Amino acid sequence: MAVENLVRPNIQKLTPYSSARSEFKGIADIFLDANENPFETGYNRYPDPLQRAVKNRISTLKGIPAENIFLGNGSDEVIDLLIRIFCEPREDHILILPPTYGMYQVSAGIADVAIREIPLTEDFQPKPGEILAAANTKSKILFLCSPNNPTGNSFDSALVKRILEEFSGIVVVDEAYIDFSEQDSFIQLIAEYPNLVVMQTFSKAWGLAGIRLGMGFASEEIVALFNKVKPPYNINQLTQQAALEALQNEQQQQAWVDEILEERSKLEKALDQLSFVQYIYPSDANFILVKMDDPVAVYDYLIAEGIIVRNRSKVLMCEGCLRITIGTLAENKNLIAALEKYK
Ligand SMILES: *Cc1c(COP(=O)(O)O)cnc(C)c1O
């Protein structure tokens, strides 16, 4: 399959903006090329448009060449760029597997790109046969979220591989929660599948939702398309610095993940004791989906107690469910105490 043939004609033809910082890459003493203010503030220069230092560290950490990494202003920018690169408005569509992350649909809606929904099975696994049957030449992107938000489970890797083999558009595997998962990441498969894009983020396990930094791993061809379409300086300097600092302290991330996983299993056990809790979905992420009697009443009660969880009870196949993020030990204790009072 040629990725080139999936790209919108206007993007194929596009001459990208060439910034001062991308035209001159060498070393010099005097920079009079970008209309910057010459007085040092720490931030008076434009940042590296290709974030080379950050990508080099990510490359070492993940074992993926820097040429196969794209960085976005959150994964949300990666999603948006993918749709604008591949989907012709009012002509092409994307495939999504509800219940899943809401941004795929919203980004498509903003771009005036239709969606086709192929719901997951009862145990929240993709249905390859139905997905492939629903796809045609206008199906440019399939979004798979694993571990899936809001259900928390990972997809069976054999199912994902079958889809990767047979779907003739771009397959995006959104791994925002992979650091909490027992499953292997799909990133190593980008060498094998030219149509695979794997997304990860600094927003969850890395504790950096505030800096807005998302990662896309893909073939050099797809990374070149991202770079062609992105705003020239999409990752600001503060973000690049904060990411570099965090990447220097990988043990901290692992310690947080370990603690969150321990807290997750404690919370599962405590929730299981509550009479109004019907089912706790198995989670491979830093949240749990919980089915209960009268979820809206519980949700409102928790708000009155000063605790906010996510009401997913109106979402297809999540009827009766609240989604609870794992907090600190103290926060989870407060949550459990409040829920015990409720019963
Ligand atoms: C939280 C989350 C993200 C992260 O988005 P950012 O823009 O990187 O903060 C991506 N995908 C899913 C499914 C998420 O739940």
Angle at 256 between CA 253 and CA 259, to 5 degrees: 150
Residues in the chain: 343
Which tokens hold the place of 176?
A: 């925002």
Where does the pLDDT of residue 24 fall: very low under 50, low under 70, confident under 90, or very high at 90 and above? Answer: confident
Residue 242, ligand 1, Cβ within 6 A: no
pLDDT confidence of residue 20:
83
| 91 Cβ contact list (under 8 Å, min separation 6) | 138
DSSP state letters, 3-21:
GGGGS-HHHHH------HH
Question: Is 76 close to ligand 1, i.e. is its CB under 6 Å away?
Answer: yes
Identify the burial level of 236 via C-beta atoms within 10 angstroms of its C-beta, where 0-12 means exposed, 13-18 middle and 19 or more buried. middle
Whether pLDDT at 1 is above 80: no
Q: Is residue 161 very low, low, confident or very high in pLDDT (cuts 50, 70, 90)?
A: very high
Integer angstrom CA distances of residue 164 from 118, 159, 170, 171, 172? 16, 9, 9, 7, 10
Q: What is the pLDDT of residue 44?
A: 97
* Encoded amino acid at 291, one letter: K
- Mean per-residue pLDDT, 13-17: 93
Query: So what's the pLDDT on residue 21?
Result: 80
* pLDDT value, residue 51: 97
- CA nearest ligand 1 atom 15, residue: 149
Residue nearest to atom 14 of ligand 1 (CA): 176
pLDDT at 146: 98
Rounded distance, CA 179 to CA 16, Å? 35
CA of 204 to the centre of ligand 1 (A): 8
pLDDT of residue 12: 97
Count Cβ atoms below 10 Å from residue 314 Cβ, excluding itself.
10
Which atom belonging to ligand 1 lies closest to the Cα atom of 148?
13
Which two structure tokens, joined as six digits, stand for 103? Answer: 């941004």
Query: Which atom of ligand 1 approaches the CA of 78 most closely?
Result: 7
Task: Determine whether the shortest distance from the Cβ of 216 to ligand 1 is under 6 A.
Answer: no
The percentage of the chain sitting over the pLDDT mark of 70, rounded to a whole number, equals 100
By C-alpha distance, which of 142, 150, 201, 204 is closest to 173?
Answer: 142
Q: Which of 77, 120, 174, 201 to mutate to test the pocket of ligand 1 (most atoms within 8 A of CB)?
A: 201
Q: Is the CB of 92 under 6 A from ligand 1?
A: no
Report whether pLDDT(343) > 90.
no
22 — pLDDT class (breaks 50, 70, 90): confident
Note the pLDDT of residue 131: 98
Q: Is 75 in the pocket of ligand 1 (CB under 6 A)?
A: yes
The average confidence (pLDDT) of the chain is: 97
Residue 298: pLDDT over 80 = yes
* Residue-wise pLDDT tens digits, 106-147: 999 999 999 999 999 999 999 999 999 999 999 999 999 999
How far apart, in whole angstroms, are the C-alpha atoms of residue 216 and residue 214?
7
Which of 77, 82, 103, 198 to mutate to test ligand 1, by most ligand atoms within 8 A of the CB atom? 103
Q: Which of 75, 200, 325 has most ligand 1 atoms within 8 Å of its beta carbon, as the pocket-test mutant?
A: 75
Mean pLDDT of 243-263: 97
- 197-217 pLDDT tens trace: 999 999 999 999 999 999 999
Tokens of 135: 């796809």
Q: What does the pLDDT read at residue 23?
A: 83
Mean pLDDT of 63-92: 98
Pocket test for ligand 1, best of 81, 107, 120, 174 (most atoms within 8 A of CB): 174
Q: Two tokens at 58? A: 């990510």
pTM, to two decimals? 0.97
pLDDT on residue 280: 98
Say how many Å lie between the CA of residue 258 and the centre of ligand 1.
20
Report how far residue 200's alpha carbon sits from residue 215's, in angstroms, rounded to the nearest whole number. Answer: 5
235, pLDDT greater than 80: yes
Q: Which two tokens stand for residue 183?
A: 């499953």
DSSP string covering 56-72, please? HHHHHHHT--GGGEEEE
Query: Which whole number is the average pLDDT over 86-109?
Result: 98
